[in-house]
Structure 1
Amino acid sequence: STVLDDPGQDWVTYKPKGNMNVLDKIYPEGIKVPRKLFGTNIIHLPTVKTHVFTTITGAMKNAFGGLLHQNRHWAHADIHNTLVDLLRIQYEIHDNVFAVMDGTFAGDGPGPRAMSFKVKNYILASYDQVAIDSISAKLMGFDPMQIPKLRIAHEAGLGIAKPSEIKVDGDSIEKQNWNFSKNKNTFASRVQKLIYWGPLKPLEKLLLRTPLVNLAFLASNLYHNSFWLRFIGKPRVRKAFETNWGRLLSSYKIVKP
């Protein structure tokens, strides 16, 4: 297995063939991507869940943690255009891109780290990264064309976001609307939004592009891993293991090499 953030990974400057919306401006010194991913077949394994910055996460969002280096938080302020740029780069450097999305458990609330789980029993799969995200959005109760990353990618010809234009094999989803929440936040995401799009915007570079950013990482870690996980997350995990999927997972025997 490979962890792309590990020291020793070869990150190279890549000049995209297609026009970039924002990445060339966010990283004027050059867009760096892992050399190891050139000429590969990529299978994304996202889950169906909401997200505090992008309404939903999904296949397109997966590339945010794989194709951008440790300073990827610089791109949060224009996350939707960033994800469209990353999708374009994926289509340029990968031989094939496929996604299988797990909707057996779906995440509702201030994702990706502080959600409630819902048992939904769906598995989605597609070569079209925009289409699979759009169908997951529709299932959760959102209009895909109102989610900027999906609309922009659709208009750029990078995939299909209009559900009426997507051929869905398998169970009908026409009457599915899970009514997931759209605007829930954690304390951490509220502060981040003040920096990215609110009154703290003038301080963005000071707070996020200097050593002060380590304070933000520390605060997020303390909140999510010390407080939220201990008092809210772990009880939800225990409840998840009481479901059929949880009992199935518990029945697996882990064989150590």
Structure 2
Amino acid sequence: MKIFTTKIQVRQYAQQLHADGKRIGFVPTMGALHLGHLSLIEQARSQCDIVISSIFVNPTQFTDPKDLDRYPRPIEADIDKLEKAGCDALFNPKVSEMYAGNEKWHLDIGELEYLLEGASRPGHYQGVMQVVNKLFDIVQPDVAFFGQKDYQQFLVISKMVELLNIPVNLVMCPIERETDGLAMSSRNVHLSPDDYRHALVLSRTLQHVKNNFNRNNMPFLKAEAFKALSEEPGVKADYFEFADGDTLLPANQNSPTIVALVAAKVGNTRLIDNMIVSR
């Protein structure tokens, strides 16, 4: 696997690949890789000639400096996982390579930025769009792969691609789960054994509403979900919502796709999860 640390290296590599007629798949990450990330590499390998991944813990998307400080960065283990997964190249830049000191960024994507995660983490999605736009410009991928666990992020990036006319296809890949149902996340390493057990209420609640879903009983199921979350020790629910799968506004009878989304603090760790309940 080739490892690049500068923009110019990656650009030259990508330009040569395109000149050779190769289709580039891109998997951007913040590292602390788990099987969810590696499933994106697998999807990219199945659809593209060359797979490039990035590992960059992006400071502009963290609304809490302490959260940025404690974000895991096991780079050697990550490199080993990417090599074993068949990734062709890694872009692992420093912050100074990605940002000049006084950069300004703002892209108006409407209310999508302020719903759910956006309400809980103001400014987060501007930081996400800022770095993903930079990465797309550097890597020039044909296809980029993202996980469904960050459902809202996928919609945000899709909106950015549309508004800026970026020539890339986006693919959303299914959530990878532990055998007990917990959505795989880089943040799971912060869960104590007790936290981990309590965190299972998120996927259990989502599965319950999915199994019992119909478009007439959303208010009842939402109340049931909040009750289950509030009764679980050590869990503080941030939101539970049935949302339109295209807009993330509250779902109604006419929403073509409906997704149930949840966020909660478990111990000191904030987790998110979702399931598509109707399509």
- Which interval holds the TM-score relative to the shorter structure? under 0.3
